[in-house]
Amino acid sequence: MEIGIDCVDICRFKGIEKNKRLLAKIFTKKEVEYCISRRSHAQHFAVRFAAKEAVLKALMCYGESVPFNKIEIINGTNGKPEVNLIGRKHKFKCKISLSHSREIAMAQALIIN
């Protein structure tokens, strides 16, 4: 079992929806569609970025490395955030928790091998 945590300044993500190349490098199409559909784009992009960082930090403890756009943060049917590791043969069980204020977004990931 490994844990990862990350926090980011939301202001870093203001206007990110205009940079298509950067979006494609970091986020999946589903994530972009979801974040753009929300009122506060920057807040939703920031918390997903923090979640990806947290997942990556936890995965590194297992010697794993995954590109940002292959770590997908989606909302499950019950609305809880879930992690989808795209194209991975080895499946990890991952739980995440997301939170944000007006200025800071943070996420914690727990991975069970």
Residues 6+ apart with CB under 8 A from 19: none
Boundaries of every domain in the chain:
2-112
Class of domain 2-112: alpha beta
Residues 6+ apart with CB under 8 A from 48: 27, 31, 35, 73, 98
- Can you give the pLDDT at residue 87? 81
- Can you give the pLDDT at residue 18? 95
- Can you give the pLDDT at residue 89? 66
- Can you give the pLDDT at residue 90? 67
pLDDT digits (tens, 9 = 90+) for 6-64: 999 999 999 999 999 999 999 999 999 999 999 999 999 999 999 999 999 999 988 88
Q: What is the dihedral of CA 51, 54, 59, 61, to 10 degrees?
A: -170
Torsion 44-93-5-85 (CA) sign: negative
Nearest to 47 by CA among 2, 96, 84: 96
Region 59-80: mean pLDDT is 90
What does the alpha-carbon distance between residue 69 and residue 79 come to, in Å, rounded to a whole number?
Answer: 21
